[in-house]
Amino acid sequence: MTGRLVPREELTQAEREALFALLAAHFQGVTRERFAADLAEKNWILLLEEDGRVRGFSTLRIYETASPGGEPLTVVYSGDTIVERGAWATAALPKSWIAAVRALRERHPRGRLLWLLLTSGFRTYRFLPVFWREFWPRPEAGTPAEVRALLDHLARECFGPLYDPASGVVRFPEPQILREGLDAVPEGRLADPHVAFFLERNPGWAHGDELVCLAELAEGNLSPAGRRMWRQGRVTLAT
């Protein structure tokens, strides 16, 4: 699979249909209206393709803002992210995603680069400890007050009253819920401290509740696995 980063407005109708079909195959409650609304909020789409077919994607919104104290920031908010089940074992998504972020960083050099991640699934949350050294919230360390204030600030900025600061969760009025077969945690995964932490912090995940997470997207914050992705990742960027 190869990664291709496309401005949202340059997606073809066929590509939009392929993205919608992938999303609907994995989630209940997917409507064309909700899909179109989510897509309209993003400015870049990462397509994972093989033999001319879309096998996965991630929608991205990159924007500039400021911290509560006035520090300039650039934020990457990742929305719908799906990879076909048959491609779960590949590293195509992290390689292409990290390469995409590196490419976008060149266009948006202002301030620190932060990843604002919403996740209703433990598999997505597991990307954080695999590829990043520090991220929040996480099981082995409490979230520092200044980080929590920044996370709350960004979540309120993006999601308004849908964000519950007490739980750190966003609840959409019409959530997308994982389909049967994807909505259970395999027994062997319960021993994973990161999976157990995610389930504790987001007990409504199976009903579509989204845990808000934050990580700095910087080379110095990469884990050893993340550094491999950093070196190996390639993405085609539309100009």
Q: Which position has the higher pLDDT, 125 or 92?
A: 125
What's the pTM? 0.91
**Sole residue written with tokens 């062997």:** 188
Map out the domains of the chain as residue ranges.
60-232
DSSP state of 224: H
% the chain with pLDDT above 90: 67
Segment 167-223, tens digit of pLDDT: 999 999 888 787 766 667 777 788 899 999 999 999 999 888 999 999 999 999 999
> What's the rounded mean pLDDT across residues 122-133?
93
Q: Is residue 215 within 8 Å of 131, Cβ to Cβ?
A: no
Copy the structure tokens of residue 225.
Answer: 């696995």
Where in 128-223 does DSSP place strands (E)?
163-164, 169-170, 177-178, 210-216
Give the sign of the dihedral formed by CA 125, CA 126, CA 130, CA 135. positive
Q: Is residue 168 within 8 Å of 159, Cβ to Cβ?
A: no
